[in-house]
Amino acid sequence: MLIVGFTRNAASRYQKPILRRDTGTPSPLALLRRGPLRTVAQVSPRGGGLSSSSIRRRDGPSLHPNAPSWAPGERPSRRRTRHQGGRENDTVRDTDGPGWALLVPLKPLRLAKSRLTPTAGEALRPSLALAFAEDTVSAALACPLVRKVLVVTDDPLAGERLTALGAAVTPDRPGRGLNAALAHGESTVRNEDPGAAVAALNADLPALRPAELARVLAAAGERSRSFLADAAGVGTTLLAAMPGMPLEPAFGGRSRSRHDASGATELLLDGVESVRRDVDTGDDLRDALALGVGPRTAARVRRLTAPAAPTASAGSGR
């Protein structure tokens, strides 16, 4: 599939888009708005950013009536919390059941979401990747079946921001890629709590709804080991293992078929689109916006779609 305004070769090199109005190259806004966007906000006529009747006005637009509505820096409402292990950021939720420990791996931001460069540009791409992770973690912490979120990352800014939201953070000590990071996170959780139910969750789910995540985790609780395929039906956005079962992550590329071959049960659920909608490309971001994204992603998209200042023509004398 070609990205509008770029050849396949240029897109593969992640060429930064030209934003000047005096060229024929489409802006990131044009890339995001290809095709109908059912509930995505439109650009206001005065160029004031995004506006829509479905936007919730707090600290940035949530682009769907059911999108998370808390403001950046504000923790979602949650049940009683306590601290264990002597670590201030080990926040544990009291639930009616054992609850889930979610593992969220995150690359250093300078390396994350490189396939979004043609859409977001090199300057905004890292902040967009951070916004995805913040909205994902916020929604996960608001899910009543989640007792803990452990982020595995070496990025100091991401670690600081996600800790402030209530997640625990551990460095990616193996430094050998996604699956090694998840294995390290699983070991960390189960060393502290051998009876924990553990699930790996992608960090790029900016449209994630706590209620939809709860449906997926409830279904996963009825299987010893299970997974949810991504929206494309090729990869995986969630892999879950009950107490006593190894997670055995095999993420990356065609992970759906690998997880299926490993004996994990695929969760075939309707109405959980926000848990399936990971974002790697401009098309993925457009689809996430149509579902409705969290406030941090919405704020970054507002910057991305802000009209560029016109460039004065040479020799105009103005």
Length of the chain counted residue by residue: 318
Given this model, what pLDDT does residue 305 score?
79
What pLDDT score was predicted for residue 88?
33
Does a structural domain hold residue 316?
A: no
Per DSSP, 175 falls in state -
Query: Pick the residue with more confidence: 175 or 101?
Result: 101
Q: Is residue 221 part of a domain?
A: yes
CB 126 within 8 A of CB 110: yes
The answer as to whether 15 is a domain residue is no
Instruction: Answer whether residue 315 is part of any domain.
Output: no
Q: Is 252 annotated as a binding residue?
A: yes
- In this prediction, residue 83 has a pLDDT band, given cuts at 50, 70 and 90, of very low
H-helix segments, the chain: 8-12, 28-32, 117-141, 156-165, 178-192, 210-220, 255-261, 273-276, 282-291, 295-305
Asked, for residue 1, whether it belongs to a domain, the answer is yes
In a domain, residue 98? The reply is: yes
Number of domains in the chain: 1
Give me the domain span that covers residue 182: 1-10+20-310
Instruction: State the virtual CA torsion across 39, 134, 281, 36 in degrees, nearest 10.
Output: 0
Report CA torsion sign: 153, 158, 161, 165.
negative
CATH at residue 219: 3.90.550.10
Distance between CA atoms of 288 and 131, rounded to whole angstroms? 13
186 pLDDT exceeds 70? yes
Whether 128 maps to a domain, the answer reads yes
Quote the pTM value.
0.72
2-27 average pLDDT score: 33
Round the average pLDDT of the chain to a whole number and report it: 76
Q: 140 lies in a domain?
A: yes
Mean pLDDT confidence for 47-56: 28
